[in-house]
Amino acid sequence: MTDRAADAVLHQAFGHTQAGRPVEAEVLYRRVVAFHPDMAEAHAGLALALLLQGKTDAAIACFRRALEIAPDNADALYKLGNLLLREGRADAAAPFRRIEESFSCFLRHARLTFGLGEPPPPPHRLRHDREQQAYLAQHHGLREWKFHLADGSRIASRTVNEANVQGAVEQWNSSKSQIIVIDNLLAEEALEKLRRYCWGSTIWRVTHPEGYLTAMPEHGLACPLIAQIDEEMRALYPGILGTHLLRYLWAFKYDSRLSGVGTHADPSLVTFNYWITADEANLDPEHGGLTVWDVGAPPDWKSPRYIGDTAGCQAYLARAGAKSVTIPYRSNRAIVFASHLFHETDRMRFKEGYTNRRINLTLLYGRR
């Protein structure tokens, strides 16, 4: 098969994939691979066709092969990272290999995607970027804006406090609504290093008009320190997490002069949401945290309905006569709850200044 013929077959296979015919696409991709075993595009296309058929392990193997051939393929890195995190199975011999490989893909994707410069940010996030640039200049010697990751490596000591585990598990098992609070979740060294990583890394890539920024794994959030936190939380909290694996994560950073995240539910089974900004930054100790309702998104709701439609979620809660509880902000406090429960950011008032911005991390466990 000539290169021109292979390109034509790839185009046809892609059309089958787009039209929802993954079996037909798989046949064509395999034909190209047989003649051109070193064509990364064919292996990546085959991976997607296999994934659409539910053949997760085979899809992972094909994405890995595509990256062996073309290690700088940012699209394949992003897809493999997501596939490993969301669908991959834990390796009994090396249970944390899935997270390590997924995070490695995300970090490489971030360096390739954001390390070459980018267009100027929109006006509503210029204030944050100016503050971060001043921080980077002072603490990292960076005088010009560029992609940068602070030290997010593992630490030699434990990241998660053990003292809270027994009480938290007992509380979780006795809680009808499955909403609990764990204070002092992280050890001090881990907490401080995580703060510095979030301050010193240009990972805040998604801008929301409500006033908060989002960092995703593929933006550079997937650092080894967070992988270590996940490992230790699953080891210490089997009474809450069971066999559920980490399926996704994000971090939010806020401008407290604006509003936060609206009413929504999460696409998982258990949510670990924890805050890392120092308590001294919070000007209203009775607020600034999270409001959670005792009613969850119905099982037949698709994610666009329970994520992003605040008005629709509020209308549903009103019809259901739902009751809410508001947990005040505390540094190093985790709110653990059943992910289908509706929740939103409480009103907040934090000090001015870059390191005073409210930051929370959310780790999602299990599949909804």
Domain ranges of the chain: 3-110, 123-365
Provide DSSP, 115-153.
TT--PPPPGGGHHHHHHHHHHHHHHH---S---------
Give the per-residue pLDDT at 215.
97
What tokens were used for 2? 């000539």
Give the per-residue pLDDT at 124.
67
Half-sphere exposure at residue 24, Cβ-oriented, CA atoms within 13 angstroms = 12
What is the chain's alpha carbon radius of gyration, rounded to the nearest angstrom? 22
* Prediction pTM value: 0.86
pLDDT in tens, the chain (368 residues): 677 777 888 889 888 888 889 999 999 999 989 988 999 999 999 999 999 999 999 999 999 999 999 999 999 999 999 999 988 877 766 778 889 999 999 999 999 888 665 556 666 688 899 999 999 999 999 988 889 999 999 999 999 999 999 999 999 999 888 899 999 999 999 999 999 999 999 999 999 888 899 999 999 999 999 999 999 999 999 999 998 999 999 999 999 888 889 999 999 999 999 999 999 999 999 999 999 999 999 999 988 899 988 999 999 999 999 999 999 999 999 999 999 999 999 999 999 999 999 999 999 999 88
From the options 3.90.1170.40, 3.40.50.740, 2.60.40.650, 2.60.120.620, give the CATH code of 123-365: 2.60.120.620
Say which CATH class 3-110 falls into: mainly alpha
The reply to whether domains 3-110 and 123-365 share a CATH topology is no
Alpha carbon of 345 to those of 186, 275, 293: distances in Å? 22, 12, 12
C-beta of residue 271 within 8 angstroms of C-beta of residue 248 = no
Strand partners, 231: none
- Within 10 A of 243 (CB to CB), how many other CB atoms are there? 9
Give the per-residue pLDDT at 88.
81
Give the per-residue pLDDT at 6.
79
C-beta of residue 165 within 8 angstroms of C-beta of residue 237 = yes
Alpha carbon of 272 to those of 118, 179, 360: distances in Å? 32, 10, 10
Give the per-residue pLDDT at 121.
65
